[in-house]
Amino acid sequence: MSKWYVSVGMSLSIDYDDIEADTKEEAEEIAKARASEDIDYNNCNCEVDNMSVWSSLEEESNE
Long-range contacts of 29-36 (CB under 8 A, 24+ apart): 31/55
* CA–CA distance, 18 with 35 (Å, rounded to integer): 13
Please indicate, yes or no, whether the overall pTM of this predicted structure exceeds 0.75.
Answer: no
Output the pLDDT for position 55.
73
Output the pLDDT for position 11.
73
The DSSP letter of residue 23 is: S
Locate all alpha helices (DSSP H) within the chain, ordered by sequence: 24-41
Give the distance, in angstroms, between the CA of residue 57 and the centroid of all CA atoms in the same chain. Answer: 16
Output the pLDDT for position 62.
64
* 36-58 tens-digit pLDDT: 888 887 777 776 677 777 777 66
